[in-house]
Structure 1
């Protein structure tokens, strides 16, 4: 179905090719997982499948990419619309209508699908992705995870033979991600759809994959069965890393496989003592009392009270639409707040001018590029210094500490997702706010980048900052958070130490906890330490 032959891609103004001498074939009805570090070329590989690379992105393509026998170099991307469906990392950027139902129908309208067939497919897709109750909602009012499901649905209604997905579960809560992946595997098994997925949260996908394309970052692509590729991949889910520590062969790809092999490891760990961190208890920096957020008739946050203490990393979890983002923006001061009070060291951020408010609370949104509006990294850093009253070079110094080596002359929107996050984080931190809020910061980050982010947040907490992170990434929470607050329907339903909250939850428990239950281990690092490694 998909054939790469001697493919090499070099972008304009770049000396080295992003991909070089790439040869592989994806058969009809296969689910193919594309893995590799951030910036290794995964998005370029996906863009080649429907001709966006190089027709839209520019650059030079050597070799050939054929989809169902058609060379993508011979046809513009629009000619592949019926054959290849693509869902990008940013669903909002791809929407062209106003409501969910209109968006699901739009692609079929362009393909002249009969009205009766369109109606049937829209209903099937609404049910398949569990978004029937959203059919009349404006797209702009949906949460990031809800937008992600609508974007996938808009592609599925056209019934493409090839489905290309770039980070399809990055904005979804664990349950919603399972539903979407179940729908995708159903397409593969029942309809013979060929699916190519690039996904950093490999723990969600690798067990369903028929094959893995691993990009080590040197321009090459390695192709093989999932288990064999996990032996050589430098990005691997926790369950594979646990298998490496325990010496399991073959390496497990699912919790079920790992539990079958885990009895000896559990016995060894039962004889060890786990050294729990008691948390960093500081003074209350932010106090929110009975905060209410309302959008028209929708009550997004229902009288929530929340305290953030200095020296503590708090994870806010909950299904899509539970009110996490709304609460963060209300607490920060820029968002809607219908009722309730928020004080940061005695002041309400909402009552202050923006330049003063950011010295109290910094917020990194779901899409970091929303805060980037200048034409170079150096310009963004200089502007942040000026707005914060910081010494020249302060923001750049912070950026180099987070992610060293970024070219100051590069346009911010040309950076990788991890680099954009680091730049926005530096911009917010240069104002030295005592409270830092992050909304889904791990989207687009590989495991190495997430470990680095967890380390940075730990250092900031140790320096006295109060940090709240809204996220669906249970593995990141297990490694980074001291405390977890779970929201549902705009209300707090759980609040306590990370281990106490997540281990007891089927949805929010990390892979290591599931494998080693009833013992309460959260991360591979904990296991390694207990074993003296």
Structure 2
């Protein structure tokens, strides 16, 4: 179905090819998972399948890519639209209509399908992806996860023979991600659709994959069966890391497989982990107090009377299903978002306090910093250096933002255009810009989209440093493994209300939906991370 023959892709001005000498055949009805570190070239490989590379991205394509016999060098994306459906990393960038129902129908209209067929497929897709209640909603009124489901649905309604997905579950809650992956698997098994997807949250996707395609840092590609290829990969989910630590053969790819090995490991481990899942830096000093916060978007009540106190040095994970009100709450806390009721106070050293929603934008930034879901929304200048200089002019000493950037992600060229950076580098740049004015509270909305496990570990270290400096940090995330490694506390929203608030071990293990892989594998033992297991096994008493 898809054939890469000695394919290399080199972008203008790049020091090395993004892809180098790729030879690859993908059969009909195969689900291939593309893995690699952030910036390795996964999106380039996906974009080559429907001709976006090189017709829209520029650069030089050497070799040939054929899809069902069509050479993408001679067939631009519009001539492959009946064959290849694509969902990119940023769903909003691909929307062309105003409402959910219109977006689902748009692709079929361009293919001139019969109206009766279009109506049937729209209804099927609304039910398949749980979008029926949103059919008349405006696309820009939806949460990030809801937008992602609409983008996937818009690709599915055309019934493509090939489906290309770039991080399809990155903005979905665990239940929503499972539903989408189950849908994709049915398309592969029942209809013979060929699916090629890139995803950083391997713990979600690896069990479904027929084959792994690993892109190395030099642009070369290896491919093979998931269990064989992941054994030596530097990109691996917690279940594989645990299997390596315990010496399990073959390495398990799912929680179910790992639990078959678990009894022997549980017998070796003490009943209580010798160390906590992380070292908390929380103090008793409040950094922000919110009381009765209400947020409305037209007739929709997104946040319903939320009371929340953040303390200095504490990292809080804000979780909940898509559309539960997480982003609305963060924007209200920062002061830029709508607030129909309630109060927010950030105390100052003199014993007073200020409401970030009642002061100017510049002062609000000094009180509460916010990194939105799409970090590039805050990047509007032509170079990294220009962005850093503007951040300094907003209230910091010259060089402050550059120093922060180098401490988070060293080596980013100041002459680079911000939108040419990888997702991880863009996030680092926005963090540096926001931190330059030293807010005491930092809010991040889905910051792990586009980040591999190593980049997430680096982000965890950065947030831990900020907490050590006395900042209160809130991270809205669907990434259970990241929340486990990073947070001290978890707040769960449902329908705009707080339904759970407590320490990570208590909240994340209370529900199978939010439990990390290690907790599922080793239950009822209270272990959350591979690091806790490693520390226990390293204890001489356990080894004996």
Which TM-score bucket, shorter chain as reference?
Answer: over 0.9
Deviations for 1:119-169, whole angstroms, at most 9, x for unmatched residues? Answer: 000000001101110000000100000000000000000000000000000
Contact 1:10 1:59 in 2 (8 A): yes
Aligned twin of 1:340: 342
Deviations for 1:150-199, whole angstroms, at most 9, x for unmatched residues? Answer: 00000000000000000000000000000000100000000000000000
Pick one of 436, 449, 466 that aligns with 2:455. 449
Aligned twin of 1:369: 376
Aligned twin of 1:281: 283
Pick one of 300, 309, 312 that aligns with 1:310. 312
Counterparts in 2 of 1:127-166, with a 5 A limit? 127-166=127-166
Counterparts in 2 of 1:102-501, with a 5 A limit? 102-270=102-270, 273-276=273-276, 277=279, 280-345=282-347, 346-388=353-395, 390-501=396-507
Q: Distance in 2 between the 1:5 and 1:311 partners?
A: 53
Q: Distance in 1 between the 2:391 and 2:455 partners?
A: 24
Contact 1:282 1:464 in 2 (8 A): no
Contact 2:315 2:489 in 1 (8 A): yes
Deviations for 1:63-116, whole angstroms, at most 9, x for unmatched residues? Answer: 111100111111111100010000000001100000000000000000000000
Distance 1:272 1:494, change over 3 A: closer
Contact 1:272 1:530 in 2 (8 A): no
Matched residue SS, 1:350: coil
RMSD value over aligned CA atoms?
0.9
Displacement of 1:13 after TM fit? 1.2
Q: TM-score, normalised by structure 2?
A: 0.97
Q: Distance in 2 between the 1:279 and 1:518 partners?
A: 27
Q: Distance in 2 between the 1:271 and 1:124 partners?
A: 49
Q: Distance in 1 between the 2:179 and 2:281 partners?
A: 35
Deviations for 1:347-402, whole angstroms, at most 9, x for unmatched residues? Answer: 000111111111110000000000000000000000000002x1111100100110
Displacement of 1:272 after TM fit? 6.2
Matched residue SS, 2:269: helix
Q: Distance in 1 between the 2:398 and 2:174 partners?
A: 43
Q: TM-score, normalised by structure 1?
A: 0.99
Q: Distance in 2 between the 1:197 and 1:282 partners?
A: 45
Structure 1 runs of 4+ aligned residues shifted over 6 Å read none
Unaligned runs of at least 5 residues, structure 1: none
Between stretches 513-522 and 275-284, larger displacement belongs to: 275-284
Q: Distance in 1 between the 2:325 and 2:447 partners?
A: 17
Matched residue SS, 1:467: strand
Deviations for 1:8-36, whole angstroms, at most 9, x for unmatched residues? Answer: 11111123111111101000000000000
Number of residue-to-residue matches in the alignment:
532
Displacement of 1:282 after TM fit? 2.9
Q: Distance in 2 between the 1:73 and 1:23 partners?
A: 16
Contact 1:216 1:233 in 2 (8 A): no
Displacement of 1:217 after TM fit? 1.1
